[in-house]
Amino acid sequence: MNTSLLWFGNNLRVSDNEALHFASKADRLIAVYFFDPRHYKIGPFGFKKTERFRAKFLLETVQQLQKRLKTLNISLLVYPEQPENRIPELVERFQIDTIYLQKEWTSEEATVLANVKRKVPENIQFHETFDQFLFHPEDIPFDAYEKIPQVFTVFRKKCEKHCEVRPCFDAPQPFPIDNLVEETPKIPTLEELGFSHFEMDQRSAFPFKGGEDEALERLQHYFWDTKKLAFYKKTRNGLVGTDYSSKFSPWLANGSISAGTIYWEVNRFEKEIKKNQDTYWLIFELIWRDYFKYVSLKHGNQIFKIDGILGNDYDWHNNKAAQHDWINGQTDDDFVNANMIELKETGWMSNRGRQNVASYWSKHLQQDWRIGASYFEAMLIDYDVHSNWGNWMYNSGVGNNPRNRTFNTKRQAEMYDPNGKFQRLWLQHSLF
Ligand code: FAD
């Protein structure tokens, strides 16, 4: 009899999950998720690596995953511990021979895996799957990651021409009931992760819960119930409300939904309802998401360095008063302030807002862009290492932006918030 361990990371779903698909071929399967204490510590720029918004969303996600796996008679063990301190014990206790996990390459994740490998017997097999991409790394038309183009458009056009999105994996058949382990795995509370209970701000543009069911409900709403997908390109630069854009990013970031599931559903929508520029544009944006993953595969830890991937040597500052004002929405720019207050109160900010506040921080104030990126890392519900650091580099003049422009935030406010509705929502002071 062979026993596998499925070590969940940012692939917290049952459908279209390659690791689960292959792990389910074992006679016996145990699953595990770690709330790694290192993810809740203060990082090098003074912010917690995970703040309360993402912590709550993640707890909801794991609770739901545990329920979904239970219907397949798979137990999800959950530990508020470092994986390297617990996996060796699990390997021994359950006589595990193979460990399945999503492949990660950023340095912190790679170090954890190396630690685990060092602590388990040498004959344990590790199977790592790329479950986070739209275009699978084995299918892209470049010989090596070093050959990934420095310009997005070149990357996109080549992939669109030469690469097919793979079909989705079905959820596996349920295991026999005796696959379940006896202990009832307890998921930590928000308080145990170091946060106080809170209610989401009523004004939030992202009032949703974590979990695979919610991700699929959101897709059903955005595509099929309201047909908003057919207008996506026209509304995607919006600032207020739940439906100006898909809001898929938090579920995509922790893997409660796959990019492939969204892709194939857009395809179905195009066949059954409507195919236009707007439906294509959602795929276009998913390719951006892939691109930043390939950029980090190509450049490794360079994406966290002050000179970025261009090696541009700017004169960066680290002014504490400027940091305080930016974070708390007290700069001289009301559009920036409204966006920053939205982030602080809800863990969400629109794409238009993110570009403006990032440009204001790193280009206008010339503050160390990594401070901004680290603050986003803490606060965002949808934090994704590649999208966050890649976009920050892009907006700070050290990444893949061929134009390297500075946003005119006043002009942006006039264009995207002409009546001041968004600024009124978050600022509530006499100006509006
Ligand atoms: P939609 O407009 O509906 O787009 C659909 C999907 O396409 C998104 O869910 C996302 O997965 C992808 N996408 C869209 N725009 C981008 C983009 N510019 N880069 C990469 N993927 C994109 N996105 C994250 O998921 N996590 C982050 O940590 C993150 N940090 C960012 C930091 C900065 C400074 C900037 C400018 C952008 C950042 N983004 C990040 C990208 C983008 O702002 C969000 O993906 C988007 O706003 C999420 O809203 P949505 O799901 O409604 O997007």
> Is pLDDT of 186 > 90?
no
Q: How many residues does the chain have?
A: 432
Contact (CB, 8 A) for 106 and 384: no
Question: Which of 314, 303, 322, 316 has its CA nearest to residue 391?
Answer: 303
Tell me how far apart the alpha carbons of residues 354 and 377 are, in angstroms, rounded to a whole number.
Answer: 12
Q: How confident is the model at residue 430 (pLDDT cuts 50, 70, 90)?
A: very low
Nearest to 13 by CA among 185, 170, 186: 170
**DSSP for 228-291?**
GGGGHHHHTT--SSSSSS---HHHHHHTSS-HHHHHHHHHHHHHHT--SHHHHHHHHHHHHHHH
Residue 428, pLDDT score: 83
Q: How confident is the model at residue 401 (pLDDT cuts 50, 70, 90)?
A: confident
Q: Is the CB of 360 under 6 A from ligand 1?
A: no
The residue among 256, 275, 351, 294 whose CA lies nearest residue 134 is 294
Under the banding of pLDDT at 50, 70 and 90, the label for residue 389 is very high
Structure tokens belonging to residue 284: 């276009």
CATH topology for the 132-168+213-301 domain = 1.25.40
Q: How much of the chain, in percent, has pLDDT values that exceed 90? A: 94
pTM greater than the 0.95 cutoff? yes
Q: How do residues 41-88 score in pLDDT, each as one tens digit?
A: 999 999 999 999 999 999 999 999 999 999 999 999 999 999 999 999
Encoded tokens for 122: 């040498």
Q: What are phi and psi for residue 188, nearest 5 degrees?
A: -65, 160
Q: Which two tokens stand for residue 347?
A: 């863990």
What b/e readout covers 329-340, taking b as 16+ CB neighbours within 10 angstroms?
bebebbbbbbbb
- 374: Cβ below 6 Å to ligand 1? no
Going by the DSSP 8-state scheme, the letter that residue 74 receives in this structure is -
Count of CB atoms within 10 A of residue 311's CB? 9
Q: Answer yes or no: is the C-beta of 356 below 6 A from any ligand 1 atom.
A: no
Which numbered atom of ligand 1 lies nearest the CA of 357? 34
Short-list 387, 355, 400, CA closest to 154: 400
User: What residues have CB less than 8 Å from 213, skipping those under 6 apart?
Assistant: 64
SS3 category, 29:
strand
**1-131, what's its fold?**
Rossmann fold (3.40.50)
Q: Which residues of 271-298 are buried (b: 16+ CB within 10 A; e: fewer)?
A: eeeeeeebbebbbebbbbbbbbbbbbbb
64 in ligand 1 pocket by Cβ < 6 Å? Answer: no
The residue nearest atom 21 of ligand 1, judged by CA position, is 289
Determine whether the shortest distance from the Cβ of 285 to ligand 1 is under 6 A. yes
- Per the prediction, the chain carries an average pLDDT of 96
C-alpha span between 154 and 57 (Å, rounded): 35
282 lines ligand 1 (CB under 6 A): yes
**Cα(254) to centroid of ligand 1, in Å?**
13
- Residue 126, H or E segment: strand 125-129
The CATH number corresponding to 305-426 among 3.40.140.10, 1.10.10.10, 3.40.50.11900, 1.10.579.10 equals 1.10.579.10
Q: What is the distance in A from the centroid of ligand 1 to the CA of 282? A: 11
Which residues, 6 or more positions from 86, have their beta carbon under 8 angstroms from its beta carbon?
A: 32, 34, 79
* Maximum alpha-carbon separation in the chain: 71
pLDDT at position 343 over 60:
yes
- End-to-end CA gap in the chain: 69
What are the backbone angles phi and psi of residue 149, rounded to the nearest 5°? Answer: -60, 150
Q: For 63, phi and psi rounded to 5 degrees?
A: -60, -45
Which helix (H) or strand (E) segment is 58 a member of?
helix 52-70
69: Cα separation from own chain's centroid:
22
Where are the chain's structural domains? 1-131, 132-168+213-301, 305-426
Render pLDDT for 16-32 as a digit per residue (tens, 0 to 9).
999 999 999 999 999 99
d(CA 19, CA 330): 46
Q: What's the Cα-to-Cα distance from 15 to each of 22, 234, 244, 261, 393, rounded to whole Å?
A: 13, 31, 27, 9, 33
Residue 290, both tokens: 């892939």
Q: Is 249's C-beta closer than 6 angstroms to any atom of ligand 1? A: yes
Helix (H) or strand (E) holding 215: helix 212-219
Q: Amino acid letter at 190?
A: L
At 129, give phi and psi (nearest 5°): -120, 145
* Token pair listed for 399: 């990444």
Q: Are 256 and 13 in contact (CB under 8 A)?
A: yes
Q: How far is the CA of 74 from the centre of ligand 1 (A)?
A: 33
pLDDT of res. 402: 76
Could you tell me where the DSSP H helices lie in 82-205?
A: 83-94, 107-119, 152-162
Residue 326 has pLDDT above 90, yes or no: yes
| pLDDT tens-place string over residues 252-262 | 999 999 999 99
At 429 the pLDDT is 60
pLDDT in tens, 103-158: 999 999 999 999 999 999 999 999 999 999 999 999 999 999 999 999 999 999 99
CA 22 to centroid of chain Cα atoms: 24
The arrangement of strands across the sheet holding 125-129 comes to 76-79, 28-34, 3-7, 98-102, 125-129
Mean pLDDT, residues 235-245: 98
What DSSP state is assigned to residue 429?
S
